[in-house]
Amino acid sequence: MSHAVASHPILDPTLAPPFPQAVLPVLRNPQLRKNVSHAIDVIQAKRAKLVAEKKDWQELRSAASAIRAHALENLGAYLEEFETRCTAAGGTVHWAADAADARRIILGLLREENASDVIKIKTMTSAEIQLNPFLEAAGVNVFETDLAEIILQLGDEEPSHIVVPALHINRSQVREIFARRMGLKDLSDDPHALTAAARTYLRQKFLKIPTAISGANFLIAETGGVAVVESEGNGRMCLTLPKTMITLAGIEKVLPRFQDLEVMLQVLARSATGERMNPYNSLWTGVTPGDGPQRFHVVLLDNGRSSILGKPKQRQTLKCIRCAACMNACPVYRQTGGHAYGSVYPGPIGAILTPQLMQMHHAQSLPFASSLCGACYEVCPVKINIPEVLLELRSQVVNQERKDFARFFDPMYLGLRVANLLFGSSRLFHASQRMGRIGLRFFTRKDGWIHSLPSVGGKWTQTRDLRGLPSQTFHEWWAARAAQTSPLSIKEAK
Amino acid sequence: MSTPAATPSQSRWIVLDRIRNATQSVAADPGQRADAYAALPRAYLRRGALSAEARIKLMIERLREYDAEVIESTPAALPAAIAAQLSASGKRTFVAPEGMPTAWLASGFDWKIDHNLTTAEVELAEGVVTAASCGVADSGTIVLHHSPAEGRRVLTLLPDWHLCILFASQVVETLPEYFDRCPKPPAIHPSDKDPSLGTPAIHPSDKDLSLGTPALATTISGPSATADIEMTRIKGVHGPRFLHVILVRDEI
């Protein structure tokens, strides 16, 4: 029981196995599935209640979607405006073309500060660029401060959700991790006691470590301000007590104006945690004398985002505000949890974002990890049409694969080429129907059903039966009927 | 490191160039960008429909849903109400923002006024008393702009007990109404830097409710909380575990 958190998933899309393979350990782990579905049920119920009470929910979604789309269409101008304002307010803006660039910039800043330790606010963007292992290898001790991130860091675990990253771990597993790593043998598994243990563990780190790293929920072009949305107060600690703050933000995070927060904050809190408002939002602009870090750096990260921006149908992916409503609503995620997606961005948004960030060189199985039911689109607060992007990416994957010589004899592509030939000619189509009837007769049981097929056909009959072909096709029946009856008498018979 | 290191200015140029290429068919030219922005659909609720009395009731109800303690008072009775709250807390050492009205400094307690207190000094305090900039009834949210009466951010962060004085005239019903009180900031020139653009209306006679766009803002919706362990909401992780609010009836 205490060792239920065992298998170590790979969240690097360049190394992770394809989704259908990666999902197997999860499907065989009933404890993990129970933890995930419990957490999802709680969030979903809270969200549904608070969205229902919001009479202007659809109007808020429309506004949020339009603001994000406008910001992306004019991204260059708004980023430059942000840079000007942030710099004027005492901040320093850095630009990173890719993950390696961002890691190098951040390590360089830490070296300037002579920082041997750094405290961090939860940021999925830093997980995307695998910042922690890089900094640890360079001799910097990284301390996560979000409760879920502490659980993951101390438990040597990987995030499985973007808002509640440790939702796959239950209280007794957290107790085991904390007792072992904090040396608290008598710790109970009451969430209050576990939370109190984390508070004590971190307090001195907040007070002593002078350098912090954060992500950003929003960058405000108009003011050069940065907004961080949180619940625990660890964010406020990191944003207030250290001397130096380094913020890593994707280039897509920019909003045109301060007032746009009136829309984004309303939809984000309800979508993410099912609250009218999350406990704390912090907004700061550059450096404020006497209050908070006196050195402030923003690292603007591209890492594949600009290539998504250039594709009209796919651009909407970047509207995402990382609320995770899509994964909470997804029937696939509910069964699999996040690890099977092989990326720090799981669920429906991960299924479209990850392969695109990988420029379609990796994670090609993810666009297929969906039933296309559309629940993600329905709940998305910025109206990302995820099924539309999934289909677009699927067609790209297929077009990539079918031109791949190594896949020439792949049964699926072979089958599709044959089907293409048959469906292209009525003569061949009818001939194939006759041949199929003869061929399948051997496998059809007396009850008229085929229960088992050999080879590729077995993939179908493994999980479901197939009805045997009837002795006459519709076309044959129609032709025979037309020969017997004149068109006029058909009309009369009606 | 697989890619050769680009110099900082190269990276800036590379990223902006990629963005410009990616958006050249959709980006509005500078003259039209403001028009395109102004034309964005905003059909959501801007103004609430509640009466002033119902708005205050809602604010109190929502604060209590977050486990915040709320009492009501009047401008005349406020100093006594503050003293009563401090006594009831059982605590002795409090910090106060530099600009807090002296009438709020109840006697009989150890006050540390924030004339640049060190973090360690603030950490030693058991509680803090501050003003606020705005209250949003719809979500039970208190907005701090960290003006002299609201204090630096650290004051409302380290002490475990926060008493916040909120005037009825500061309470709006919807979040957009708060933003309406923060009009567009003036154009910033490179040399321009005003850390506290807004001053809250802490005196009943001050009828100008305009706040200005804040350089610093913190919104508080109930005490610090987490639901990271099995989605069980736990009050009090790192911020103050106890939030008390005195709602001062200055306009009703």
ipTM for the complex? 0.90
Residue A249 lies in a domain: yes
Residue A298 lies in a domain: yes
Can you tell me whether residue A391 is helix, strand or coil?
Answer: helix
Which of B229, B231, B241 is the best substitution to test chain A (most A C-beta atoms within 10 A)? B229
Among candidate residues A259, A284, A307, the one where a domain is terminated: A307
Does A104 contact B45 at a Cβ distance shorter than 8 Å?
Answer: no
User: Where along chain B do its domains lie?
Assistant: 52-187+194-248
b/e per residue A29-68 (b: at least 16 CB within 10 A): bebbbebbeebbebbbebbeebbeebeebebbbbbbbbbb
Q: Residue A248: which residues within 8 A CB-CB, separation 6 or more?
A: A102, A106, A123, A125, A126, A129, A131, A213, A214, A215, A216, A299, A301
| A210 touches B: beta carbon within 8 Å | no
Which of A12, A93, A95, A129 is the best substitution to test chain B (most B C-beta atoms within 10 A)? A95
**Tens digits of per-residue pLDDT, A47-69?**
999 999 999 999 999 999 999 99
Query: Is residue A403 predicted with pLDDT exceeding 90?
Result: no
Residue A22 lies in a domain: no
Query: Is residue A239 predicted with pLDDT exceeding 70?
Result: yes
Number of domains chain A is built from = 2
- Angle at B210 (CA atoms; ends A280, B177), nearest 5 degrees: 55
User: pLDDT confidence of A8, banded at 50, 70, 90?
Assistant: confident
Residue A261 lies in a domain: yes
As a whole number of angstroms, the distance between CA A481 and CA A472 comes to: 12
Pairing of strands B242-248, A117-120: unpaired
Same domain? For A259 and A141 the reply is yes
**Tens digits of per-residue pLDDT, A189-234?**
999 999 999 999 999 999 999 999 999 999 999 999 999 999 999 9
**Tens digits of per-residue pLDDT, B37-66?**
999 999 999 999 999 999 999 999 999 998
Residue B183 is predicted with a pLDDT of: 66
User: pLDDT confidence of A3, banded at 50, 70, 90?
Assistant: very low
**Residue B148 DSSP one-character state:** T
Q: Residue A334: which residues within 8 A CB-CB, separation 6 or more?
A: A36, A37, A40
Query: Is residue A20 predicted with pLDDT exceeding 90?
Result: yes
What is the fold of B52-187+194-248?
A: Rossmann fold (3.40.50)
Can you tell me whether residue B142 is helix, strand or coil?
Answer: strand
Same domain? For A303 and A422 the reply is no
**Residue A18 DSSP one-character state:** P
Query: Which residues of chain A have a CB within 8 Å of the CB of B151?
Result: none
Q: How distant is the Cα of A224 from the closest Cα of chain B, in angstroms?
A: 9
* CB < 8 Å from A in window 201-240 of B: 213-232, 234, 236-239
Does B154 contact A241 at a Cβ distance shorter than 8 Å?
Answer: yes
> Please, how many CA atoms are within 13 Å of residue B80, restricted to the half-sphere of its CB?
6
Residue with the bigger pLDDT between A4 and A354: it is: A354
User: pLDDT confidence of B145, banded at 50, 70, 90?
Assistant: very high
* CB < 8 Å from A in window 94-133 of B: 116, 119-120, 123
Query: Which residues of chain A have a CB within 8 Å of the CB of B141?
Result: 277
Residue A5 is predicted with a pLDDT of: 41
Residue A427 lies in a domain: yes
How much of chain B exceeds pLDDT 90, in percent? Answer: 72
Give residue A136's domain range: 59-145+210-307
Same domain? For A298 and A439 the reply is no
Among candidate residues A257, A286, A307, the one where a domain is terminated: A307
As a whole number of angstroms, the distance between CA A470 and CA A436 comes to: 11
Mean pLDDT, chain A, rounded, equals 93
* CB < 8 Å from B in window 299-328 of A: 300, 302, 306-307, 309-310, 312
Query: Which residues of chain A have a CB within 8 Å of the CB of B212?
Result: none
User: What amino acid is encoded at A459 in this protein?
Assistant: K
Residue A458 is predicted with a pLDDT of: 87
Residue A375: CB atoms within 10 Å: 22
Q: Residue A395: which residues within 8 A CB-CB, separation 6 or more?
A: none
How much of chain B exceeds pLDDT 70, in percent? Answer: 87
As a whole number of angstroms, the distance between CA A299 and CA A309 comes to: 19
**Tens digits of per-residue pLDDT, A443-490?**
999 998 999 988 878 888 888 999 988 888 898 899 899 888 766 555
Q: How distant is the Cα of A167 from the closest Cα of chain B, in angstroms?
A: 6
Segment A316-345 mean pLDDT: 97
**Tens digits of per-residue pLDDT, B26-40?**
988 888 999 999 999
> Please, how many CA atoms are within 13 Å of residue A312, restricted to the half-sphere of its CB?
4
* R_g over Cα of chain A: 27
How much of chain A exceeds pLDDT 90, in percent? Answer: 83
* CB < 8 Å from A in window 17-56 of B: 18-23, 26-28, 30, 33, 36-37, 40-45
How much of chain A exceeds pLDDT 70, in percent? Answer: 97
Same domain? For A295 and A419 the reply is no
* R_g over Cα of chain B: 22
